[in-house]
Amino acid sequence: MKKTIWGPICISAAVVLLAACGGGDKKAEQKSEQKSETPAVKDNSMVTSVAGKGKELIASKDCKTCHTEETKLVGPAFKEIAAKYPASDENIELLAGKVIKGGAGNWGEVPMAPHADIPKDDAKEMVKYILSVGK
């Protein structure tokens, strides 16, 4: 009696286990295949276009005579400014105002020259770019 009961149960249990393992393996294989087939393409087009505009604006002005991305010249490096200020709307507004009106005392005694000819929106784009440097 016992034999006839346990025999089929053992076999079906073994089949279930095998199927479960086999199935699992296949799923894992499929997943990794899918991953390698579709490389993660992050859509950064918005970010780059905004940063790109600010970068171009900075290049068209005199900023680079006193600032670089990486090293302190007369003014602080953009990297340092980015590390000091989070890219919040408030900071962008504040720093854009400083670019236009000039400023001193935050980084040392040397003041930044005012840039009264720069429209506020352009100054904001520049600041957005500056705050993205090194991040």
Rounded to the nearest 10 degrees, the angle between the axes of helix 120-132 and helix 89-101 is 120
Q: Least distance to ligand HEC from the beta carbon of 120, Å? A: 12
Whichever of 19 and 135 has its CB closer to ligand HEC, that residue is 135
In the numeric block, which tokens belong to residue 99? 């670019």
Measuring CA to CA, which residue among 90, 62, 56, 94 is closest to residue 75?
62
Q: Least distance to ligand HEC from the beta carbon of 44, Å? A: 23
Q: Least distance to ligand HEC from the beta carbon of 27, Å? A: 52
Whichever of 29 and 93 has its CB closer to ligand HEC, that residue is 93
C-beta atoms surrounding 63 within 10 Å: 20
Whichever of 50 and 113 has its CB closer to ligand HEC, that residue is 113
Alpha-carbon distance of 129 to 109, in angstroms, equals 25
Alpha-carbon distance of 92 to 53, in angstroms, equals 15
Q: Which residues bind ligand HEC (CB under 6 A)?
A: 58, 61-63, 65-67, 74-76, 81, 95, 98-99, 103-108, 110, 112-113, 115, 118, 126-127, 130
